[in-house]
Amino acid sequence: MHSTEILKNHGIRLTETRQKILNTFLQSPEALSNEDIEKSLENLDRITLYRTLKTFEEKGIIHKIPNSGNSPMYAICQDNCTEHQHHDSHGHFHCLECGKTVCMDHTDVPGIKVPEGYKVEQKHLILEGKCDVCS
């Protein structure tokens, strides 16, 4: 799907900056950090980037991947994610050597029984080690 269609389908106003940021995600085989996006797009205002990532996450276009570093990573969501409702229940692998993070789409996060009255809103499975290039 093209970036223009994705933005329209998620009810996001079309701007050149949003298209550039979304195209960066669509062209990347791995997850991206704020810094990765800043490096790939010249003259990008950090506040605009932060707001755009937040909007994309809220609307179900990207999902946040926590890691052991200070900066979270982001990756494109599956087609069935919607506003405020992510269905990306898959694992991620983070290389401790090169910093690459990839989605493991065919690795589901296992269900875990939580105490009565608790409600799980997000599940994360992060495997860390060395990727195929670094090992």
**What is the C-alpha separation between 61 and 112, in angstroms, rounded?**
26
3-129 folds as Arc Repressor Mutant, subunit A (1.10.10)
**pLDDT number for residue 83:** 58
Average pLDDT along the chain, 135 residues, taken 10 residues at a time: 88 94 94 92 92 92 80 80 60 86 78 90 83 93
pLDDT at 25 (0 to 100): 95
Entry pTM: 0.76
With contact defined as beta carbons under 8 Å apart, do 53 and 89 qualify? no
Q: Domain segments of the chain: what residues?
A: 3-129
Residues 6 or more apart whose CB falls under 8 angstroms from that of 85 comprise 60
Q: Convert 23-56 to b/e letters by CB count within 10 Å (16 or more is b).
A: bbbeeeebbbbbebbeeeeeebeeeebeebbebb
- What confidence score (pLDDT) does residue 79 get? 62
